[in-house]
Amino acid sequence: MDLAIANYGTNTVGILLGNSNGTFSKQSTLSTGPNSHPYSLAVGYLNDDTVLDIAVTNHGDQNVGALLGNGDGTFRKQMTYSLGAASPYSVGISDLNKDNRMDLITANNGTNNIIVLLGYGNGSFGNLIPYATGSYSTIFVAIGNFNRDSRLDVAVINNDTESIGILLGLDDVTFENQTKYSFLSSPICIAVGDFNSDTQLDIVVTNSDGSTVTVLLGYGNGSFGNQMVFTTGSYPQSVAVGDFNSDTRLDIVVANYDDNTVSVLLGYGNGSFSNQMAYTTGSSPQSVAIGDFNNDMRLDIVVANRGDNTVSVLLGYGNGFFEKQIPYSAGSKSYSIIVGNLNNDTHLDIVVTNFNDHTVSVLLGYGNGSFAGQMVYLTGAYPSSVIVDDFNKDAYLDIALTNAGDGTVSLLLGYGNGSFSAQTAYSVRFFPYSLAAGDFNNDTQLDIVAANYGDDSISVLLGYDIGALENEISFAPADGSLLRGVVVSDVNNDTLLDVIVANYGTNTIGAFLGHNNSTFENQLKFSMGFNAHPYTIAIGDFNTDGQADISVVDRGTKSIGLLLGNGNGMFRIQDSHGRNYEFPPLFIGAGDFDNDSRSDIVVAYDGTDNIDVLVAYESGSLTKHMIYSAGSSPQCVTVADLNKDTLLDIVVANVNGNNISVLLGYGNGSFGNQMTYSTGSYPQSVAVGDFNSDTQLDIVVANRGDNTISVLLGYGNGSFGSQMAYSTGSYPQSVAVGDFNSDTQLDIVVANRG
């Protein structure tokens, strides 16, 4: 058996894998996001793959997170589902609508309700369905069939009204109005079991202010008898039930926050219990769970200790007594704990949420009662630019992005099912702003080039078969160029990839013509005019001569510039082409939007919430101009066929809207109205690729504001699922995808600015 713990203070969930002898491996942690303050956990099969997954309430972020298991004790990055204004305390997993798919239900503070999220069976969930409780502070939820009608019911704790509520389930995933049972001493946690052996479910509740637990025996019709009260330690928090003395009668264990103990109350089988036996734990025990951690057929106890950032394991003798605690390190402010076999080794493991460092800790069990040390998954800062490609040759798309905050490029290898490995970060120069991928040394492995705004350099990272990258090779003009955009293309028809950069500071476009050994010729510069300040670049054939041309947004002169290629690495500057804008353009994309074999242009610019589409005519002129609404402050655009109609569509990252816009193309140069999808904070860069091998294009976004990338899986009709978030480095600036380890799966690489 393994353990899971919610670490409220460190914003993590901790996992401790069991060793089969009652000990556990060192804790591993999973981030739940900055200031998320994970509070409670539940374990279940969220995507029908026989591998246990985790649901976690992120009290600080007002969402519930799903961490899908990989079957080896590790987990994919969490997918989050917003609960609106609700701050969730507790989460339960069950099939509430009898469709054989697991659903989620949360108890929420501040909104007078509980919320149900129906599962799709693939680890994702639908829109929230709220149900009123009449309590401002509904803090705990439990699920059971209290009236034996084959429908699941819900029990909640209403902390502010000092009551519990019973909501009986109906066929259509709705519930009857709650029936309340009043308490006098701040009920805080609830558990369900048959305490009097009558086959009817009963309830036990911890009363934090009264230092007691209350038992309510069920009648089997959804109603309950009078309360019976039993003394515990001081300020009881969490409660769990199990048979600790092998007499087939359920017993109770309670975590007592103020006196650093757990209380064990043995059941008599008639609904009454013995006086408590107290066992010492760590400081301020917050949550308790049970399981057989050493495979001796006897139940053991595990406790999350909020005060000293540990978990305590107490091995059971099978007679109602327990050994002294064995402590294991967890994250900051360990809050909630749960157990399960996370790596399919028949040993129970531990998961903990860490409130203060925004992580989840995993401690893999050895099956002997001991656990391995925690595994920690850290974040970077400020992702900005993102690309996708298959960097490890596994036929699955991967993601690469720049992290502006810590001066790195991050690579996330894809599993081919829409999920990704934890990031691997590679140092580049200061403030990487943009990146691109290509094979610069003709070894059939994808390499990466990053444009570093902070020190006027470009960094090249050569790829290996396994998706790893060599140390950077830097090329520094050192002339105040202030590099912004970078693209890769063969502009001189020698079959070798070249690098094109936008030199914001020197008002030029630079071309580094490639050799076949990953080196480049000295930069060729093409002036864009006084105060042009070129910002981003797109490559296309705008005059149908079969040669690569360059389009560039000139932020300083508020215009679009075109450089028509001669096919030998030289370009003809087209001063007369482009369109003057009222506001400075920011980002440019190119594609044939009207099926005339000429590349057209889409532009996002600063100061408005629109994008512009410019359709090309003969000689590379751009005359037709159409405006389309996007989200708040569109920052980045990319083009692809998102609905498999052979017509190009547009994706826009809206930095102030924390979303992306999708505009489907009609094939005549015009587009439909936008559809928006939520992302992380301050989306900076966007790229597309098929991440789950279903032949449908998906989207990846670099979120600079919360140091994450968002992956949105496509349905093939131009619509997309909810985002899945993955941590990156500091200030991720740019993202790319490719197969970096030759396993035919697409991977992700990120450039981190900081």
Per-residue pLDDT band at 252 (split at 50, 70, 90): very high
How far, CA to CA in Å, does 272 sit from each of 189, 196, 200, 256?
A: 19, 8, 15, 20
pLDDT for 381 equals 41
The CA distance from 98 to 619, in Å, is 63
Take residue 723 and report the two structure tokens written for it.
């985002």
Structure confidence at residue 466 as a pLDDT band (50, 70, 90) = low
For the chain, percent of residues with pLDDT exceeding 70: 82
pLDDT computed for residue 377 by the predictor: 36
Domain range annotation of the chain? 3-373, 380-752
Highest mean pLDDT among 150-159, 255-264, 503-512, 558-567: 255-264
Q: Residue 356 above 70 pLDDT?
A: no
Euclidean distance between CA atoms 57 and 63, whole angstroms: 6
Q: Are 683 and 383 in contact (CB under 8 A)?
A: no
Name the nearest CA neighbour of 31 among 474, 362, 478: 362
**Distance from chain centroid for Cα 312:** 29
Cα distance between residue 131 and residue 112, in whole Å: 8
pLDDT score recorded for residue 728? 73
Q: Quick one: pLDDT at residue 475?
A: 56
Q: Which of these CATH numbers, 3.40.640.10, 2.130.10.10, 3.90.650.10, 3.90.850.10, describes 380-752? A: 2.130.10.10
Question: Ranked by mean pLDDT, which of 16-20, 318-322, 749-753 comes out on top?
Answer: 318-322
Rounded CA gap, 694 and 647, in Å? Answer: 19
Residues 6+ positions from 253 with CB-CB distance below 8 Å: 239, 240, 241, 242, 244, 262, 263, 264, 265, 288, 290, 301
- The amino acid present at 654, given as its one-letter code, is N
| HSE (side-chain half, CA atoms, 13 Å) at 452 | 28
pLDDT in tens, 653-691: 988 888 999 999 888 888 888 888 888 888 888 888 888
Q: Identify the pLDDT of residue 378.
A: 34
pLDDT surpassing 70 at residue 184: no
Average pLDDT for residues 245-269, to the nearest whole number? 95
CA 653 to chain centre: 18
pLDDT value at 357 more than 70: no
Contact 172, 163 (CB under 8 A): no
Under the banding of pLDDT at 50, 70 and 90, the label for residue 380 is very low
- Token code pair at residue 48: 């029908």
The answer to whether residue 632 scores a pLDDT higher than 60 is yes
The answer to whether the CB of 680 falls within 8 A of the CB of 700 is no
Q: What is the pLDDT of residue 298?
A: 94
How would you label 596-617 residue by residue, b for 16+ Cβ within 10 Å and e otherwise? eebbbbbbbbbebbebbbbbbe
Task: Annotate 36-103 with DSSP letters as a single string.
Answer: --EEEEEEE-SSSSSS-EEEEEETTTTEEEEE-B-SSS-BPPPEEEE-TT-EEEEEEEE-SSSSSS-E
Q: Which of 502, 494, 606 is nearest to 563 (CA)?
A: 502
The closest alpha carbon to 478, from 508, 458, 449, belongs to 458
Q: Is it the case that residue 478 has pLDDT exceeding 70?
A: no
Report pLDDT for 471: 56
Q: Taking 50 as the threshold, does the pLDDT of residue 379 lie above it?
A: no
- Write phi, then psi, for 657 (nearest 5 degrees): -90, -10
d(CA 130, CA 117): 9
529 is written with which tokens? Answer: 């005019």
| Mean pLDDT of the residues in the chain | 80
> How far apart are alpha carbons 469 and 446 in whole angstroms?
9
Homologous superfamily (CATH) of 3-373 is YVTN repeat-like/Quinoprotein amine dehydrogenase (2.130.10.10)
Which pLDDT belongs to residue 746? 64
CB atoms within 10 A of CB 167: 23
Cα–Cα distance, 736 to 751 (Å, whole number):
9
Report pLDDT digits (tens) over 131-181. Answer: 887 766 677 778 888 888 877 788 888 877 788 888 888 776 677 878 888
Q: How far does CA 470 lie from the centroid of its chain?
A: 27
The reported pLDDT for the residue numbered 574 is 63
Q: How far is CA 176 from the centre of its chain?
A: 34
Q: What is the pLDDT of residue 355?
A: 61
- pLDDT of 376 > 50? The answer is no
pLDDT of residue 576: 45
Identify the CA nearest to 720 among candidates 681, 682, 691, 750.
691
Q: Is the pTM of this model over 0.85?
A: no
Strand partners, 170: none
Find out whether 110 and 159 touch, Cβ atoms under 8 Å: no
Q: How many CB atoms are closer than 10 A to CB 566?
A: 15
Q: How close are the terminal C-alpha atoms of the chain, in Å? A: 40
**3 state SS of 214:** strand
